[in-house]
Amino acid sequence: MKKYTLLIILLLISKWSIACPVCEAQQPKILKGITHGAGPENNWDWVIVGITAVLVLITLFYTVKWLVKPGESSETHIKRLFIDQ
């Protein structure tokens, strides 16, 4: 029963996440079918989106890097309180 409920919820969410025809007509070529509402109105909007994308990629890189290899090797690091017990 939980599987079917989750499936129905995901199907409904996916329907809402696809851009409607009216919004799709207002979007620039690169964003057609991806997002709702008006697209970027001037070049500053693209600059803001670009800077935000770079920050997200940097954050993703360091998150994965530090999750895979944390690098804390000190014996006095706080994580040792839990690991050594």
Q: Residues 34, 19: contact at Cβ < 8 Å? A: yes
Confidence at residue 9, expressed as pLDDT on a 0 to 100 scale: 81
| Predicted TM-score (pTM) above 0.75 | no
The tens digit of pLDDT for each residue in 37-83 reads 777 788 898 899 899 999 999 999 999 998 888 877 787 877 777 77
Residue spans of the domains in the chain: they are 1-39, 41-85
Confidence at residue 41, expressed as pLDDT on a 0 to 100 scale: 81
Confidence at residue 50, expressed as pLDDT on a 0 to 100 scale: 92
The tens digit of pLDDT for each residue in 11-31 reads 777 666 666 777 777 777 777
Using left for φ > 0, alpha for ψ between -120 and 50, and beta otherwise, residue 37 falls in left
- What are the start-end ranges of the E strands in the chain? none
Confidence at residue 15, expressed as pLDDT on a 0 to 100 scale: 61
Q: Residues 24, 33: contact at Cβ < 8 Å? A: yes
d(CA 61, CA 1): 38
